[in-house]
Amino acid sequence: MKVLITGGAGFIGSHTADLLSQKGYSVKILDNLSPPVHDGEWPDYVKREGYELVRGDVTNKKDLTKVLDSVDYVLHLAAYQDQMPNFSKFFTTNTVSTALIFETILENKFPVKKIVYASSQFVYGDGIYKSEDGKEFFPELRTEEQFKNKMWDIIDSGGRRAKFISFKEEQKINPINSYGLSKMASEVMGLRLGKTYGIPFSILRYSIVQGARQSPRNIYSGALRIFVTQALAGKTITVMEDGNQLRDFVNVENVAEANVLMIEDSKTDFEIYNVGGGKSYKVKDFAEIVKRITKSDSDILIDGRYRRTDTRNAVSDISKLENLGWNPSNSPEKSVNDYVNWIKSSKFDIEEIVKNIERGHKELV
Ligand SMILES: NC(=O)c1ccc[n+]([C@@H]2O[C@H](COP(=O)([O-])OP(=O)(O)OC[C@H]3O[C@@H](n4cnc5c(N)ncnc54)[C@H](O)[C@@H]3O)[C@@H](O)[C@H]2O)c1
């Protein structure tokens, strides 16, 4: 069986390739090796494995026609994931690519058995909150005034603190940025086209994925990248808001297992699954984990910096995927450890990365 992984030179794609290969699948990778994650070269960890490597773009139909020929499964992982206001690029890379994959398969009658789509917890936006009187509501983005007054929590219409409810697959999704919107559009389109044309489609909504090979040049990589590089450079570890915001973290090897499960279990056809760590952490507690594992003397600074489009809490309920026998067996401690060892063994300029992070932070305060 041959599996095409778009974006397979990246973090999640390369771990998935390794797992597929261990299980006896042939792996083909389509990747444009674009910056900031790559510098135009195939990383060693995919080069040495003997995968079929094709340099090309998921937004280019000719490239897709080349790679979709003679594959059984497609894992569509390539994506644009920045925080820039170039809104259209999210849709071109993340959504139009999904349409093009269907178009190419149908036009050429390629016998693809299934498409698996890498979506994100970001489709939920801020999710659902419950007010003190038990009413559920979808909060709007917090206002500048709220942030300036350090009112970090989501409040109900009566001005009281509301209770966060973990994300469930069946709830209404409410993305708050172009990245989430582009993923939502792909989800809806993939399910529709898949059903109409008889190509099974599965959606995985990953939480924050962590582990080795996550490029520290990727600004999307979030707290792990920031805390670890600051700790390794001996700089202050900077935590946003009041540090009490909740997140869940899932290890990349467990994510690779979820990807493969979508191929191997036909019960997953046309289904959506959250892929998370199953446990919520306050971001300030996660900073402590990083400090401990890196054996750092750095201070942890919580000084109220913020990003207006950040969600206050983001934690996924993973019971649906667990019911299929999957479980997030690896802890965030293992992910941090793997990431730290990998960063130390590679040639990244940590000082430069920290400087970039600090430059970004100055713009936020
Ligand atoms: N890492 C996370 O925490 C996380 C969370 C939720 C969802 N996701 C999703 O998982 C998928 C994989 O993410 P990742 O963390 O491995 O990211 P990554 O940046 O490490 O990998 C993405 C890969 O896609 C390639 N790519 C980008 N644009 C392309 C294009 N136009 N054509 C061909 N290749 C292209 C990149 O070169 C890169 O190798 C993405 O779809 C992402 O949105 C990731």
How does pLDDT run across 123-145, given as a tens digit for each residue?
999 999 999 999 999 999 999 99
User: For residue 75, how far is its CA from the centre of ligand 1 (angstroms)?
Assistant: 11
223 pLDDT band (50/70/90 cuts)? very high
Q: CATH for 2-127+167-364, among 3.10.20.90, 3.30.70.360, 3.30.300.30, 3.40.50.720?
A: 3.40.50.720
Ligand 1, atom 37: closest residue by C-alpha? 33
- The 10s digit of each residue's pLDDT in 162-207 is 999 999 999 999 999 999 999 999 999 999 999 999 999 999 999 9
Atom of ligand 1 nearest to the CA of 12: 16
pLDDT of residue 297: 97
Ligand 1 pocket test: pick from 34, 55, 251, 272 the residue with the most ligand atoms within 8 Å of its Cβ: 34
Phi, psi of 167 (to 5 degrees): -70, 130
Q: One-letter amino acid identity for 272?
A: I
Alpha carbons 30 and 56: distance in angstroms, whole number: 6
User: Nearest-5° angle of CA 87, CA 222, CA 292?
Assistant: 180
- The pLDDT of residue 217: 82
How confident is the model over 238-261, as a mean pLDDT?
98
Q: How far is the CA of 159 from the centre of ligand 1 (A)?
A: 39
**pLDDT of 2 higher than 70:** yes
Alpha carbon of 358 to ligand 1 centroid (Å): 24
- pLDDT of amino acid 361: 64
As annotated, the residues of the chain forming the CATH 3.40.50.720 domain(s) are 2-127+167-364
Cα 143 to Cα 32, 109, 139, 154, 328: the distances in Å are 38, 50, 11, 10, 35
Query: Taking all residues of the chain, what is their mean pLDDT, rounded to a whole number?
Result: 95
Tell me how far the alpha carbon of residue 78 lies from the centroid of ligand 1, in angstroms: 4
Could you tell me the distance, in angstroms and rounded to a whole number, from the CA of residue 80 to the centre of ligand 1?
7
Query: What pLDDT is stored for residue 365 in this prediction?
Result: 43
47-62 mean pLDDT: 96
* Range of lowest pLDDT (9-13, 83-87, 148-152): 83-87
Question: Rounded to whole angstroms, how far apart are CA atoms 355 and 291?
Answer: 19
What's the pLDDT at 112?
Answer: 98
Query: In angstroms, rounded to a whole number, what is the distance separating the alpha carbons of residues 112 and 94?
Result: 20
pTM of the model: 0.97
b/e string for 233-249 if b means 16 or more Cβ within 10 A?
bebebbbbbbbebbbbb
| Helix, strand, or coil (residue 213) | coil
Instruction: Report whether 3 contacts 263 (CB < 8 A).
Output: yes
